[in-house]
Amino acid sequence: MIDFEDIKQKAVDVITVLSDKAGEVYTKAEGKTKELAKTTQLSAEVVREKNNIKKLTAELGSLYYQLYKDNPTEEAAQLCAEITAANANIEALQKQIDEIKAAGKCDDDVEVEIVTEDDACCCGEEGEESCCCDEEKAEESSDCGFQEEKAEEPRDCGCQEEKKDEE
């Protein structure tokens, strides 16, 4: 005959084993989750420190440049020269920006040409003497579109000189 007590005991044993295994899985998952959280936190701290190093290195470089730009070491001379040239370029560009802003407004008939990849040089020789595209562009635009403002001294874009050279 079937012993229900034996079946009952086996069911309890299986449930106990399953419960123990579930507890182990939970414990391992909890450990992995804590490990992942900690490594993520530490990784974020590493990124913060690397960013801090970049900032401090930039500040150190800036300080070095300010102190030694007129008499840099041999290793830093090229970089100092490049920084000086870039600063001069920034000043010239800023001056142009300030002049445009001082004029008060831009002409209403300013045209903007959007060049797409399809508009690129068809022969791949753009900028070379033999480029067919330069001839086509010259034929398409007889005037550069530069509008002189009524000011004390008229500005010249240089297109008039180009036309004289062509004639």
- pLDDT bin (cut points 50, 70, 90) of residue 142 is very low
162 in a structural domain: yes
Model confidence at 94: pLDDT above 90: yes
- As for how many domains the chain has, the answer is 1
Range of lowest pLDDT (13-17, 53-57, 72-76, 136-140) = 136-140
121 in a structural domain: yes
48 in a structural domain: no
CB contact set of 165 (below 8 Å; sequence gap of 6+)? none
63 in a structural domain: no
pTM: 0.42
pLDDT digits (tens, 9 = 90+) for 124-141: 555 545 555 555 544 444
Distance CA 102, CA 96 (A): 10
131 in a structural domain: yes
Distance CA 146, CA 107 (A): 9
Domain that holds residue 137: 108-167
132 in a structural domain: yes
When pLDDT is averaged across residues 5-10 and rounded to a whole number, the result is 88
pLDDT digits (tens, 9 = 90+) for 30-51: 999 999 999 999 999 999 999 9
